Amino acid sequence: MTGDQQHQRASLERRLGHQFVDAGLLTLALTHRSAGSQNNERLEFLGDSVVNHIIAEYIYDKFPDAHEGELSRIRASLVKGDTLAALAAELSLGDHLVLGSGERKSGGRRRSSILADALEAVAGAILLDADLECCRRCVVAWFGARLEELSLDAVAKDAKTRLQEILQGRGRPLPEYELLGVLGDDHNQRFHVACRVARPNFVVEGSGSSRRKAEQAAASVALDRLESHDR
């Protein structure tokens, strides 16, 4: 390894928050399958599990009153491919990827799926090179403000979109919302909304200070019902 390569590797390790004892683990974590049979797929498998565990543990502690459905949705929003790819880009992992010639020519260094897989592989490599506590510190630091700014309200705001996407993905009719009533004075109104889902067939209700918030609340209840039905 040249002096310039050593400098680049040290810079990457500083961004990752971990100096590898076994430098080969980091190289393997950054090696895409297009580069050969010795690649990061096994480390990605391990890293996927450990990142999910670390994020689940973090939000479990952060939201002691949240129910399972809320915790699952928060975790899903954090560990989805787009978020992991964004983190990998922020850490400049793409500059260090080992790719086959085809992937290099087709823009593999910027491909979201490759970046997300590499980030998980690096997490797996840190776990093997050190321990779970070290890996936890690194992963939490990577997510940084994304974890600090988490709120249950932010999850609830997108409940209608998630419900619609789930039903569409299963080829089912879209939910229907009906305003059941409005209570209170003009300056302190409370809206009550019903959300009807066709398959499985059920009706749930939600309330809020506006019709939009009431629909979001009803959609959140519907999501929980769907999760219970699917278990």
Cβ neighbour number for residue 133 with a 10 Å cutoff: 8
Kindly provide the b/e burial profile for residues 189-219, where b requires at least 16 CB atoms within 10 angstroms of the residue's own CB. Answer: eebbbbbebeeeeeebebbbeeeebbbbbbb
Domain 8-151: which CATH number of 3.30.930.10, 1.10.1520.10, 3.30.70.2860, 3.40.470.10 = 1.10.1520.10
> Domain boundaries in the chain?
8-151, 158-230
- Does residue 44 have a known ligand-binding role? yes
Residues designated as active site: 48, 120
- Does residue 117 have a known ligand-binding role? yes
The CATH T-level fold of domain 158-230 is: Double Stranded RNA Binding Domain (3.30.160)
- The residue written with tokens 């879209």 in the block is 174
pTM: 0.70
Helix, strand or coil for residue 180? strand
Q: pLDDT per position in the chain (231 positions), as tens?
A: 677 778 899 999 999 999 999 999 999 999 999 999 999 999 999 999 999 999 999 999 999 988 887 888 889 889 988 899 999 999 999 999 999 999 999 999 999 999 999 999 999 999 999 999 999 999 999 999 999 988 877 666 678 888 988 898 888 999 999 999 999 887 788 999 999 999 889 999 999 889 988 999 999 999 988 877 665
